[in-house]
Amino acid sequence: MSSSAKDLIAAGKTALGIELGSTRIKGVLIDYEGNVLATGAFEWENSLVNGVWTYALEDAEKGVAACYAQLKAEVKDKYGVTPKSFGAIGVSAMMHGYIALDKDDRQLAPFQTWRNTNTTQAADELTSLLDFNIPLRWSVAHLYQRLLDGEAHVKDIDKVFTLAAWLHYRLTGQMVIGVGDAAGMFPIDSNTMDYDEGMVGKFDALMQQHGSSLRLRKIFPKVLVAGDSAGSLTAQGAALLDPEGDLGAGVPLCPPEGDAGTGMTATNSVAPRTGNLSAGTSSFAMVVLEHKLSKVYREIDMVATPSGFPCAMSHANNGTTDLNAWVGMFGEFCELMGIKADPGTLYTKLYQHAMTGDHDCGGLLAYGYHSGENVTFINEGRPLFARMPGSNFNLANFMRSHLYTSLGAVKLGMDILLKDEKVKLDCIMGHGGLFKTPGVMQNILAAALNTKVAVMETASEGGAWGIALLAAYMADGKGNGKLEDYLNQRIFSTMAGKAVDPDPEDVKGFATFTERYVKGLDIERAAIAAMDW
């Protein structure tokens, strides 16, 4: 591939995807067939500042530049060429949240991430007003809560963005957003592929009742769908990505998307009866629907694919953070004992050992609640581990309980869809770093959902690869027709993947664990009340 890859890179016939995840900013360069040519990454972490989970936007810009610099260096090392242009660029990031700018593009308030659950009043009022579930983390909930709280900056708002839409704006000067990410800002009408006009009118009237002159369509980005042109890289945008100056302006960009949309793309889960689950710092499952749900569920988000298909999401704020902390502590123990265990080996050994444990985790129970959890209606987090005196307490069950609980809240939402709403799902695709170890999380997810689970070889590339595919689709794929046709015919037709069926004993064991998980939520609530230091 190297010779032809070099020519493609030199000719600018490649697609670049950059995704700002919760712990890592990742860049992926691909050819138009989806083959990965080079990658780059930058580690970062959110901070709890004055009760708000946030990232500094300056760190986002520095991280994107560092990520691109690493990718650029890998391209030069592998192919002996420095990229000057691309066929298209796409940017993606964690969905939802709130970035407010004034008319001079100055940031007005701390960036509120998806992790914040300080919008209960706003989300409740908007859900009632619109007869549509408005989750705590959605941009419109944050905006309305800031108004309800009387925050002075609201009167100066000129633009409201998600993180992906903000970065796209910094690169292109265009105030636009992909329909999937837009669906984490405000409800979408899948017939018009735009914000629901009737709901927009209700929201604007509500703002007027509160004495605010803000109108949603003036301050929220314009909605675009997969394949639409979303502007091009400005000179300032090129300098932000590549301060060394090798990258030129003028590169087309596809609509910016959220990590849910890029996850759907990366797993070929954009058509009805398909679904995917992303397992990482947060965990969320997406199911593309054939019909509307029978009623509004506060546990279920109604969002959209990058093409605008209605999609149900079970989103858990907490995934692997606590699990990673425990693995880190076992790493410390290895060092104390004079044992050299690299992180990759440590994770693999512990995960594989977990599969030798009891199907129900031996009566052990864990909650990795570092922050509030919307699915279980708990607004703060206290990570905890509990067991009965007679529980089968060993390392395998301990690790298995933490792997199970990383899906605990997501499963509750998926049970509503699969059991209560009888949603049809042929197969669910797993992706994200938690699926790197073969035979572990794939089997656990199959047990949790009692559904066939497939994992592609590209699963660990995640959303950065997904947004690169959306960029490639805009640049060279629309000749294949709709996005789902492009993915089926050009990207995934030859890609290897392995599917597993649920093990009946694991299904029963996870069901028992889930019963204990639900019953034990009172322990979590008591911990929140008692642990207030």
Cross-strand partners of 19 = 26, 92
- CA separation for the pair 444, 407 (Å, rounded): 9
Residue 338 confidence class, pLDDT cut points 50, 70, 90? very high
Position 38 pLDDT exceeds 70: yes
- What pLDDT is attached to residue 461? 62
Confidence of residue 1 (pLDDT cuts 50, 70, 90): very low
CATH homologous superfamily for 91-233?
ATPase, nucleotide binding domain (3.30.420.40)
Whether pLDDT at 483 is above 90: yes
pLDDT, position 443: 96
pLDDT for 282: 82
Using the predicted structure, report yes or no on whether residue 458 has a pLDDT greater than 80. Answer: no
Q: How far apart are CA 64 and CA 59, in angstroms?
A: 8
Q: Which CATH architecture has domain 258-533?
A: 2-Layer Sandwich (3.30)
- The CATH topology of domain 1-79 is Nucleotidyltransferase; domain 5 (3.30.420)
Q: How far is CA 346 from the centre of its chain?
A: 25
Q: Quick check: do 1-79 and 91-233 share a fold?
A: yes
For residue 515, what pLDDT band results from cuts at 50, 70 and 90? very high
Give the integer Cα–Cα distance in Å for 227 and 476. Answer: 10
74-101 per-position pLDDT tens digit: 999 999 999 999 999 999 999 999 999 9
> Domain residue spans in the chain?
1-79, 91-233, 258-533
Cα distances from 218 to residues 75, 158, 382, 444, in angstroms, run 41, 8, 39, 45
Taking residues 397-408, what's their average pLDDT? Answer: 97
What is the token pair recorded at 28?
């992926």
Q: What is the pLDDT of residue 496?
A: 62
Cα distance between residue 363 and residue 512, in whole Å: 9
For the stretch 53-74, pLDDT in tens is 999 999 999 999 999 999 999 9
